[in-house]
Amino acid sequence: MSLGDRIRNFLGDDPKKLVDEILKSMKEEYGEIPFIAKSMSSQRPEAFIFNALQTLFILKRPKAVPQKTAELLAIAAATAIGCEHCVDFHIRAAIRLGVSKDEIFDAIMVAGLISQTSKLAVGLRKLERSSLSDSH
């Protein structure tokens, strides 16, 4: 049996039932269904299923760090890249897991510092490499 056949067998003839189960589970766990899940599940259910599995194994069941730490990492990453909706969502998810406001604050501060530092490093390196670096 080919990989494609095995994947089709996993999804079944109609992935809607599996999609509905995943969405129900998300609603129970997060208290809401994330926007991306709503959009992907209605437009590309097969892609949504695999995205949900990826989320499950990376964020909800991380191998080496506690789930609370994974949510703090998600908050930090979302802060660093400037994804406001992601920051909001993962703050709510972290609070549901019992993460404190101080822990969330620290994650945001570290992310902000690294984000700021990376922007400064790019700009200052470009300036140093420019023709202006030798002139006053």
CA 16 to chain centre: 24
**Same domain for 90 and 78:** yes
Q: What is the pLDDT of residues 53-82, one digit of tens each?
A: 999 889 888 999 999 999 999 999 999 999
Per-residue pLDDT of the chain (136 residues; tens, 9 = 90+): 888 778 777 777 778 889 999 999 999 988 899 999 999 999 999 899 999 999 988 988 899 999 999 999 999 999 999 999 999 999 999 999 999 999 999 999 999 999 999 999 999 999 999 977 666 5
Picking from 4, 65, 55, 64, the residue whose alpha carbon sits closest to that of residue 30 is 55
* Token pair belonging to 8: 């089709």
**Same domain for 117 and 50:** no
Picking from 78, 77, 96, 83, the residue whose alpha carbon sits closest to that of residue 30 is 96
Query: Which one of 61, 78, 111 terminates a domain?
Result: 61
Query: Which one of 32, 61, 90 terminates a domain?
Result: 61
**Same domain for 68 and 57:** no
Q: Which domain holds residue 100?
A: 64-136
**Same domain for 126 and 115:** yes
pLDDT over 70, % of the chain: 97
